[in-house]
Structure 1
Amino acid sequence: MPSWTVDGPRRLTLVEPVDQLVVRLDSGRVNVFGTDGPARIEVTRTDGRPLVVEHQDGKLSVRQRTPRDWTLLLRLFGRDSGPEISIGVPARVRVDLRLHEGAVVASGLTEATRVDVTAGQVTLMGLAGRTTARLISGPVEALGVSGDLTMETVSGELVLADGTAERVRASTVSGAITCDLGNPGSGEIQLGAASGSVTVRVPEESDLDVRLHTTSGKITTDFPQLQPGAAPSWSSDRRGRLGAGGGSLRAATMSGSIVLLARRSGGI
């Protein structure tokens, strides 16, 4: 099994095939992107803790070798910013990225991408296949994502733009959700927030079955065909069909507002 210990800036190129990438870091900045060439890793910064890179049976793994007492000391002295790593892999590689604290950028991947970060931020660009991003604290920004997209956070903002995902599930407890969508066709969009707001913009010619519900917030919409549904007096509900209603849009909040905007044809 090829293995490398990296304790400073270094570039690695793997000549053997890679079909899975697994990254496990306490902290750091990670950029993973799809490439036509062989898999490669560039470490531009370390923090004194060695990185272990291993490749076996098509699985490429990157992890930190950190004794527990080192981790505590580095955090006490403010040196736990973590490494900076860029990893290029074939676009159809399955990717699993997990950080306790830091920033992740994933782009150009087409199979399955999973990102778990406790505190930090995640940026997803041009992904396809099945994409999942989960954070406790921090924002997720998804740009040009297709396929199946799941975004979850406790206190961060969720932003989706220029996406053509057939299935979108976005949920947050105290953050806001902002989506600027193309016509989802027969797709399924589910958005949920507890105390945060939900803002969605779709083309005015969209084909959607729409249901909007808030317990104590306010609903505003550019689509007059959405009518109040059966709901208790303390809550608000709007539902109806846009166009042929081939896809579905569901948005629900506890105390946050819901805004559904129409993108005019030829407009912005």
Structure 2
Amino acid sequence: MSEWSVAEPRKLTFDAPVTALHVRIVNGTVNVVGTDESSARLEVSEIEGPPLVVTHKDGALTVAYEDLPWKGFLKWLDSKGWRRSAVVSLAVPASTRVEVGVVGANAMVSGIDGGSDVKGVTGDTTLVGVSGPVRATTVSGSVEAQGVSGELKLNSVSGDLTVIEGTCPVVKADSVSGSIILDLNPISGPTDARLTNVSGEIAIRLPHPADAEVEANTASGAVSNAFDDLRVSGQWGAKKITGRLGGGTGRVKATTVSGSIALLRRPPAEDEPWDAPPADRSAGGDTTVSSDRSSNGTTAGPTEQKGL
């Protein structure tokens, strides 16, 4: 086992295989990026308070405080522990299994296909382009998942849960008072989505054409439905939206007690290729933007980690 104590800004490179990553910090920021390289890199650009302990053993890379265990993480509220902060960035092989725990810190995980598990107390969590089993749990911080595939499970107490351009076969989201927003990508296959809330609102945007059995219930909240094939029942108190869209291959079930429920339809135009130029523009029209985008395929975005 190799071990380092990091008490000041520092960069480390790990040539030995990394198959699992465990990060636990208080305050600050954690950025984890999956790459196609075999090595892993760590940069601690800012640190205050006690040192971070970095260990590498049997393929598992850990960056954490000694007094901050993963078990019971969401209940860790030691007042002395708040007097610390770190900004940590890691580049690891995309196949790495990632676990990140943050107290009062923001976490961003992108490009990981080995599965991700993020726990947060008050910090916000962002998941971009991750696949495999993905789980995010938060107390009051928000969770945003963009372009996520694989099974997705989200839990919060008061934090908002947002899924954008999701291509997940399974989505489970539970909240007490935070809102739940689910936007499914048109290219995704059948999705089994189960959303539960108490007082927070639920909004679901389905592809057009949609393919799902739908059941949405609210005990006292308002309902909104953009699909003619779905039936809205109940006028006072409890309301329900039910029905089948398309072949009913997928399943969408949403339940809230006092929050509102909205079923939205993605406009058909969004399924068409964006910014398609007319044929006669090739002679003299300016197509610089379209050409640049197609040649790169991607943009710098959050996966760019300078200094790693």
Give your verdict on TM over 0.5: yes
Q: Aligned to 1:155, what secondary structure does the other structure show?
A: coil
Change (3 A) 1:175 1:72: closer
Aligned equivalent of 2:173:
170
**Counterpart Cα distance in 2 of 1:185 and 1:73:** 48
1:66-85 equivalence runs, <5 A: 72-73=79-80, 75=82, 79-80=83-84, 82-85=85-88
1:46 matched to 2:47? The reply is: yes
List alignment gaps of at least 5 residues for structure 2.
69-77, 272-308
1:95 to 94, 98, 101: 98
* Deviation, structure 1 residue 232: 9.6
1:241 matched to 2:244? The reply is: yes
Aligned equivalent of 2:198:
194
After superposition, the C-alpha distances for 1:109-136 in whole angstroms (9 at most, x for unaligned) are: 0011000111111000000000000001
**Counterpart Cα distance in 2 of 1:237 and 1:136:** 29
**Counterpart Cα distance in 2 of 1:142 and 1:209:** 24
Q: Which has the higher strand share?
A: 1
Retained in 2: the 8 A contact 1:22–1:95?
A: yes
Q: Aligned to 2:215, what secondary structure does the other structure show?
A: strand
* Deviation, structure 1 residue 108: 0.3
Change (3 A) 1:41 1:226: same
After superposition, the C-alpha distances for 1:59-98 in whole angstroms (9 at most, x for unaligned) are: 111112469xxx74574xxx43x10000111001111111
Output the aligned Cα RMSD.
1.8
**Counterpart Cα distance in 2 of 1:36 and 1:225:** 45
1:208 to 190, 209, 212: 212
Aligned equivalent of 1:10:
10
Q: Which has the higher helix share?
A: 2
Q: Aligned to 2:137, what secondary structure does the other structure show?
A: strand
What TM-score results when the alignment is normalised by the length of structure 2? 0.80
**Counterpart Cα distance in 2 of 1:175 and 1:159:** 10
Moved over 3 A (4+): 71-75
List alignment gaps of at least 5 residues for structure 1.
none
Change (3 A) 1:237 1:11: same
Q: What is the number of residues matched between the two proteins?
A: 260
Percent of pairs with identical residues = 39
* Deviation, structure 1 residue 173: 0.4
